[in-house]
């Protein structure tokens, strides 16, 4: 009778690695922790297109990968809101009104305010499960708006 060996697969913790000139996730799969860190580092001052997120998470920018990223945006929004205290502004307008770009909300521009209002309206229309996150998002948005009204530049607040 042959012995059956058990081989356990070692699961590595994903990390950002450099491939050529670009950084990608080592597992080539979405990871909220890593993507949140990358968004916080890169999306404070400018809008980040969905394609750029796709190339970071999945290794390349393709229609399929952009679709996969759009499915993860809500998760990233909740992750940033609850664990990092940041509000993610999502610009809609791609085909079928999908997400086309993201930016950390600081209330400095009218486009950001419009984008966050659209996101909050979408959250309010959903079921009660989203309700707790909606209230938190509204509170954080008001905090950011109050900071902007005080006149402090976004770089000084970061």
d(CA 144, CA 108): 9
Q: Is 147 exposed, middle or buried (0-12, 13-18, 19+ CB in 10 A)?
A: middle
CA nearest to 111, candidates 87, 137, 90: 90
pLDDT digits (tens, 9 = 90+) for 40-93: 999 999 999 999 999 999 999 999 999 999 999 999 999 999 999 999 999 988
Q: Would you say 144 and 107 are in contact if contact means Cβ atoms under 8 Å apart?
A: yes
pTM: 0.81
pLDDT digits (tens, 9 = 90+) for 82-111: 999 999 999 988 667 789 999 999 888 898
- The runs of H, that is alpha helices, within the chain are 32-42, 50-58, 63-79, 110-125, 131-149, 154-157
Q: Would you say 36 and 79 are in contact if contact means Cβ atoms under 8 Å apart?
A: yes
């Amino acid at each position: 009778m042959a012995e059956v060996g058990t081989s356990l697969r070692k699961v590595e913790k994903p990390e950002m690695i450099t491939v050529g000139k670009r950084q990608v996730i080592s597992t080539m799969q979405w990871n909220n922790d890593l993507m949140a860190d990358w968004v916080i580092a890169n999306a404070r001052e400018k809008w980040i297109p969905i394609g750029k997120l796709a190339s970071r998470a999945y290794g390349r920018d393709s229609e399929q990968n952009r679709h996969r990223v759009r499915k993860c945006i809500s998760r990233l929004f909740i992750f940033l809101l609850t664990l990092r205290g940041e509000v993610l502004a999502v610009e809609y307008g791609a085909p079928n009104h999908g997400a086309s770009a993201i930016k950390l909300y600081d209330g400095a521009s009218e486009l950001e305010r419009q984008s966050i209002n659209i996101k909050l309206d979408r959250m309010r229309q959903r079921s009660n499960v989203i309700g707790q996150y909606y209230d938190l998002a509204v509170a954080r948005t008001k905090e950011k708006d109050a900071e902007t009204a005080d006149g402090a530049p976004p770089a000084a607040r970061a």
